[in-house]
Every structure is written in structure tokens, then in C-alpha cells.
Copies of this chain bind each other. A is one copy, B any other.
Amino acid sequence: MREQEIGALERVRLRITCPDGLGIVASVAQFLATEGANIVQSDQYSLDPSGGQFFMRIVFECAHAASRLEDMRHRFDRIAKTYDMNVQCSLVAQKKRIGIFVTKEDHCLLELLWLWQAGDLDADIAVVVSNHDTLRHCVAPMGIPFVHIPINDKEAAERQQLAVLETHGVHTVVLARYMQIVSPTFVAQYPQQMINIHHSFLPAFVGGNPYRQALDRGVKMIGATAHYVTNVLDEGPIIEQDVQRVTHRDDLEALKRIGKHVERTVLARAVQWHLDDRVLVVGNKTVVFR
């Protein structure tokens, strides 16, 4: 179900994390009812009902949500304090702005551009950044800025990249087969807002040339993993994974070709769920409310 606006009602996504306990759902639901907001979808998950961490995602709709949201947040504060809640809240109508990083491989970029064109990616693609000029022709005709930042001095380049992202108001960074390691400084700017696609079924085949590693090991399926970027390479919280069957007939070229399909499928799903605020991070893992 897509969460679109119906009539004059406006939709809001609410995400709550707190220690589990008695009365949380009742307090939140009571609050929303009092505000005249109707719950459209609700998901919850608890690590342990007796005080473990509790996760909740609610989509509600009410009249004039956009103009009232600030006030509602204020009124909700009392409940948030009572239960020690971490609260996040966003208007469905207010699209996130994403920045896509690429190198020379186009398949993940093209998948995102195509979904965006088809209206199936609920975001504004603010900018595409690359250390090569190779893929400019995919991006420019769509009226999306393409910024080529060659990497000679890594630190200088990263300062430039961050400046570009700020200029374009980027909320979420997608590394769409961007074959560079980003620094802790960069990572710190986009906590749980930077998604990478790794071309293996993690934790198998961490690091470089995973298809070559897969070929050498003789696996019967190859995979791809979309995860949030942290400071440990290929170790961030996994958002989504998928695999495809291969056989002894598939050489390195074939694995790459088959893998491209898996990579773009997995990355697209992860980005879509992230944009819908469906992904909550707990430690090094994710809760995905689908």
C-alpha cells in the first residue's frame, strides 16, 4: 500500500524508539485520536516486552497536518518524556532529497533514475556526484545536476563533495557502486542516511572483487547486500539482501552480468524502504517494517 494523500487530509510518518513498557501504544494512539488523526498503518516490534527496546512506525492522516505538525510535536513532548522516547516525524508529502555517488558502472544509477522517472521513487534526486565524468550523459538529459569531482587529494575532494551535498540540500546519500571508501568525517555527516550496495551476500566476500572470490569458491548462488555505511568496511547494518542462482557454466563475466541485476534490485528496494522511513537501526542491525 502506498501512503498517498487522499483528499484534503495530509499524511505523516511517525517513528518511535523507547524502552518497552505498559501503556505506550495506548498513550500514542490516544494522543492521535485526540488530535483527530486517523491511523492508516501501524507496525511495532519489541526486542523484549519486559523493558527491551520497543520500535514503532505509524502513518496517520489528519487535516492540515503540515501547518499543525510543529504544534503537535510540542504537545506530544510530555508523552515522549514519560516513556523516554526517541521520536522522528515527517510529512509524507515532503520528499527527501537524495545525492547519488557513482564511479563508472551505470546499472545501479540507471535503476534509480528509471524508478524516479516512473514515479516509483518517492524522492527528489538532488545531485549525482562522481569521481569520473563517464556517466554524465545518463544524468544531464534529465535535468539533474551532475558534478564531477576527481580524486587527487582525497581530503580536498571530500570537502568538495560535502559542500556539493550541502548546497543541494541532500538528506540521504546513496553509494550506487561508488568504488571509493568514504572517511569517518563523511560518514559522521550522514548517520543512518548513507546507503551502500555491496556486490556479495555479506558477510561472504567482504572487500574487493567479490565476484572473483565467489567464482573461486564455487558458490551456487551470488548475492548483493544494501547496508548503511559505518566506519567499518562492509560491516554496517544490513537493510536488504537477495541472491540469484548460478552454475558452473557461469564465468566471471556471467557472474558480473547476473550480479548487476541483483545489485540494482536490492539497492532499489533498500532506498525505497529508507525513503518511506521503514528502516530503523538497532545496534548493527535493522528493523524493516514492510
Residues of A whose CB lies within 8 Å of any CB of B are 1-2, 6, 20-30, 32-33, 36-46, 49-50, 61, 106-107, 110, 114, 118, 120, 141, 201-205, 217-221, 223, 237-243, 247-251, 253-254, 257, 260-261, 265, 284-288, 290
Contact of A46 among B27, B40, B238, B261 (CB under 8 A): B40
- Whether B220 and A241, one on each chain, are in contact in the complex, defined by CB atoms closer than 8 angstroms, is yes
- Tell me the smallest distance from the CB of A71 to a CB of chain B, in Å: 19
Chain B residues with CB under 8 Å of A223's CB are: 221
- Whether B42 and A286, one on each chain, are in contact in the complex, defined by CB atoms closer than 8 angstroms, is no
7 A-B pairs, CB-CB below 8 angstroms? A43-B43, A141-B141, A201-B221, A202-B219, A204-B204, A217-B285, A218-B284
- Tell me the smallest distance from the CB of A111 to a CB of chain B, in Å: 9
A239 to B288, CA, bound (A): 23
- Whether A39 and B25, one on each chain, are in contact in the complex, defined by CB atoms closer than 8 angstroms, is yes
A32 to B40, CA, bound (A): 21
- Whether B23 and A249, one on each chain, are in contact in the complex, defined by CB atoms closer than 8 angstroms, is no
**Chain B residue with the shortest CB-CB distance to A137:** B141
- Tell me the smallest distance from the CB of A117 to a CB of chain B, in Å: 8
A1 to B50, CA, bound (A): 15
- Whether B22 and A29, one on each chain, are in contact in the complex, defined by CB atoms closer than 8 angstroms, is no
**Chain B residue with the shortest CB-CB distance to A11:** B49
Take A36-B22, A39-B25 as given contacts and tell me if A220 and B205 are in contact as well, using a CB distance cutoff of 8 Å: no
- Whether B201 and A218, one on each chain, are in contact in the complex, defined by CB atoms closer than 8 angstroms, is no
Take A219-B202, A221-B243, A238-B217 as given contacts and tell me if A33 and B38 are in contact as well, using a CB distance cutoff of 8 Å: no
Chain B residues with CB under 8 Å of A43's CB are: 43
Q: Tell me how many chains of this kind the complex includes.
A: 4
- Tell me the smallest distance from the CB of A226 to a CB of chain B, in Å: 9
A36 to B260, CA, bound (A): 37
Take A29-B26, A141-B141 as given contacts and tell me if A251 and B42 are in contact as well, using a CB distance cutoff of 8 Å: no
Known: A203-B217, A203-B219, A243-B243. 6 other contacts (CB 8 A): A26-B26, A26-B29, A38-B49, A42-B44, A120-B257, A218-B286
Take A22-B33, A218-B286, A284-B218 as given contacts and tell me if A1 and B249 are in contact as well, using a CB distance cutoff of 8 Å: yes
- Whether B202 and A203, one on each chain, are in contact in the complex, defined by CB atoms closer than 8 angstroms, is no
- Whether A220 and B237, one on each chain, are in contact in the complex, defined by CB atoms closer than 8 angstroms, is no
Chain B residues with CB under 8 Å of A21's CB are: 38
Contact of A250 among B1, B23, B221 (CB under 8 A): B1
